[in-house]
Chains A and B, each alone.
Chain A
Amino acid sequence: MAVLLEKTFPVEAGAYGTAGEASTNIKRTLKQLGVSAEVLRHVSVACYEVELNLVIHSLGGKLILQVEPDRVTLISRDVGPGIPDIARAMTEGYSTANEEARTLGFGAGMGLPNMKRNATEFDIQSEVGVGTTITMSFALKG
């Protein structure tokens, strides 16, 4: 289906101070497009979690927002370090967040499960030493 809008937001590794800005921008963009409050909420939660994951765990990456007539798609693509055991990373309560992240209230091990719970479709691909790509889509109708 035709992509109505595509925007890319770079996310810097370790930039805790500005974390959440891409998510706030994405939410604002979707709100302006008239996306319903319920879908907006699901996208916001998943988007914030994936943005924080880029800040906490990745070596840097980007968030890509695509809007089609029937769906919103969020793609998170980073340049490493990759996840050695995806099944374990998907387990609620499991986290490899460092001390700094934990002090700030992150590292509850809820990130990936929260994303999966909020997205209509969720896919994660990762290769150690290469990077991780997470693709989430959110249905806009029915």
Chain B
Amino acid sequence: MTVKELIELTGAEDRTPDSDKTTEVTCGYTCDLLSWVMAHGKAGMAWITVQTHMNVIAVASLMEMAAVIIPEDIQMEEATLEKAKEEGITVLQSSRTAYELCALMAKAGLPGEA
């Protein structure tokens, strides 16, 4: 599934309209402990987290993730969005809970492991 298809699937709002939406999403994940994500993150991952600070983008970029999804309409700080644009990371915002997003992604066939 591409990032574009992920947006259609989740109905999430695209907070980084200029990022590449043809990137392939390889798997899904949810976790808010950044060190844990550094240990378990994969390239092409769609990562759901309630964290909204700059380091989210650093982790997503270093892991070459496909997208970061912020659940429950939590607002990401402007500075973080700026950083995401700089690094070419897609940030999506959804009114759904992390659980609902995982369920949707899993149902669509997105695995937990790349």
Contact = CB atoms under 8 A, between A and B. Distances in A.
A52 B34 CA distance: 10
B106 interface: no
Interface stretch (B47-55, B67-75, B90-98): B47-55
B58 A20 contact: yes
- Main secondary structure, interface of A, reads helix
Contact of A114 (B39, B57, B62): B39
Interface size range of chain A in the complex:
20 to 34
Interface of B: 32-36, 38-39, 43, 49, 51, 53-55, 57-59, 61-63, 79, 87
A135 to B, nearest CB: 20
A104 B34 contact: yes
A19 interface: yes
A110 B35 contact: yes
A114 B38 CA distance: 8
A48 B33 contact: no
A117 to B, nearest CB: 8
Contacts of B62: 20, 23-24, 27, 44-45, 48
A105 B55 contact: yes
A127 B34 CA distance: 28
